[in-house]
A = this chain, B = another copy of it.
Amino acid sequence: MKKLLFVYLLLISLFVVYVYNHQTENAVTREWSESDLKGSMEETYVMVTFQVGIDYWKRALKGFEDAAEALNVSVEYRGATQYDVNEEITVLEQVIARNPAGIAVSTMDPEKLNPVIDKAVDAGIPVVLFDANAPDSKAYSFLGTDNYKAGVEAAHKMAELLNEKGRVGVITQPNQLNHQERTRGFKDTIFMEYPDMEVVTVKDGRGDPVLSRRAAEEMMAEHSNLEGIFATEANGGVGVGQAVVANDFQESIKIISFDTDKGTLDMIEDGTISATIAQGTWEMGYWSLQFLFHLNHDIVEQVDKRSPLPKSVDTGVTIVTKENVDSYYPQ
């Protein structure tokens, strides 16, 4: 009799636990669905770039992953291994075939990817572009650096380094729009805001350290009193650094470069390069995923079926010098 009672007791306890358990689970589920900004791990968003694996994408991917953690969704990274537009199109086709929750693309070409981007959008897959835009595609938003403003920032930093006085040069890639804009922002600002400074020379470094070094040496030969050089991309900056070191001009010529690859950071560490312009790549990745999530979840009902996203986002730049260079090395 006592044993039987004990069994009853056990069964009743288990039942109570079961009922309670069940109710609590329901409560939890209900609470979670109230939180609009929580997805599911089955929901996979994909980042697609060209030249997979280069340092430049690492912080963008970190931002994408950080947003995935905050939103409780999954992410993947795919891309073309080469600097090859057809390979990037193929990769994008493969990604679309798997019907992901959304795609963030950095386009290698401002037009050639439009058909495949539009195909994704037409199939109901949210697409945003980051770092490099394809303005005539159907992608919902673009997140990247305003290159003109980045050039403006570089000019202000150069003025600070030279006490607002002196002659400076620019090493750039004159045939690429983003480099044209960096150069224009730099030149306009020196011209309009620093009357005792002058941009005396602009040369083509072709994005190559050897050619940029040669261009910098020509500059130094042609302008004996040159006091600063702004390189609009990282390979050029390293070439300019080598030219200045080889010709023993470290004391007289200040260099400002662009981006934060290891070669550039090392030259900031040793004082060859005074400053570099760091793009908001983490911000590009983080807000790309936030935007894709918002499109995928229809979180808000907009008038006239408008997209709830901003059209274009300037992720901004920061200036890296010897003081803060440590935190820019990949961890």
A290 and B67 CA atoms in complex are apart in Å by 13
Within 8 A of B (CB), among A1-40: 5, 8-9, 12-13, 16-17, 20-21, 24, 28, 31-32, 34-38
Q: Which of A16, A282, A313 has the most CB of B within 10 A?
A: A313
In the assembled complex, the CB of A183 is this many whole angstroms from the nearest CB of chain B, namely 20
Answer whether A310 and B302 are a contact pair too, CB < 8 Å, given A28-B31, A35-B38, A37-B38: no
Q: Which residues of B contact A280 (CB under 8 A)?
A: 306, 310-311
- In the complex the two chains form, is A324's CB within 8 Å of B304's CB? yes
- In the complex the two chains form, is A286's CB within 8 Å of B300's CB? yes
A35 and B16 CA atoms in complex are apart in Å by 30
Q: How many residues of A contact B (CB 8 A)?
A: 55
Answer whether A315 and B310 are a contact pair too, CB < 8 Å, given A13-B13, A36-B70: yes
In the assembled complex, the CB of A292 is this many whole angstroms from the nearest CB of chain B, namely 14
Q: Which residues of B contact A316 (CB under 8 A)?
A: 310-312
A282 and B308 CA atoms in complex are apart in Å by 8
In the assembled complex, the CB of A259 is this many whole angstroms from the nearest CB of chain B, namely 14
In the assembled complex, the CB of A151 is this many whole angstroms from the nearest CB of chain B, namely 14
Which of B70, B302, B327 is close to A282, meaning CB atoms less than 8 Å apart? B302
Contact with B along A295-317 (1 / 0, CB 8 A): 00001101110101111111111
Q: Which residue of the partner chain B has the closest CB to A140?
A: B316
- In the complex the two chains form, is B313's CB within 8 Å of A310's CB? yes
Answer whether A310 and B143 are a contact pair too, CB < 8 Å, given A16-B16, A300-B66, A302-B282: yes
Query: Looking at chain A's contact residues, is the secondary structure mostly helix, strand, loop, or mixed?
Result: helix
A204 and B218 CA atoms in complex are apart in Å by 52
- In the complex the two chains form, is A314's CB within 8 Å of B312's CB? yes
Q: Which residues of B contact A50 (CB under 8 A)?
A: none
The verdict on A318 contacting chain B, using a C-beta distance below 8 Å, is: yes
Q: Which residues of B contact A149 (CB under 8 A)?
A: 311-312
The verdict on A146 contacting chain B, using a C-beta distance below 8 Å, is: yes
Q: Which residues of B contact A314 (CB under 8 A)?
A: 310-314
A15 and B70 CA atoms in complex are apart in Å by 36
In the assembled complex, the CB of A200 is this many whole angstroms from the nearest CB of chain B, namely 29
Q: Which residues of B contact A312 (CB under 8 A)?
A: 146, 149, 313-314, 316
Residues of A within 8 A of B (CB): 5, 8-9, 12-13, 16-17, 20-21, 24, 28, 31-32, 34-38, 59, 63, 66, 69-72, 143, 146, 149, 280, 282-283, 286-287, 290, 299-300, 302-304, 306, 308-318, 320, 324, 327-328
What are 10 A-B contacts with C-beta separation under 8 Å? A12-B13, A13-B16, A28-B31, A146-B311, A149-B312, A282-B303, A290-B290, A303-B327, A304-B327, A310-B314
Q: A290-B290, A312-B314 are in contact. List 15 more A-B contacts (CB 8 A).
A: A16-B16, A24-B24, A32-B35, A34-B72, A35-B38, A36-B70, A37-B37, A59-B303, A63-B300, A66-B300, A149-B312, A280-B310, A304-B318, A312-B313, A312-B316
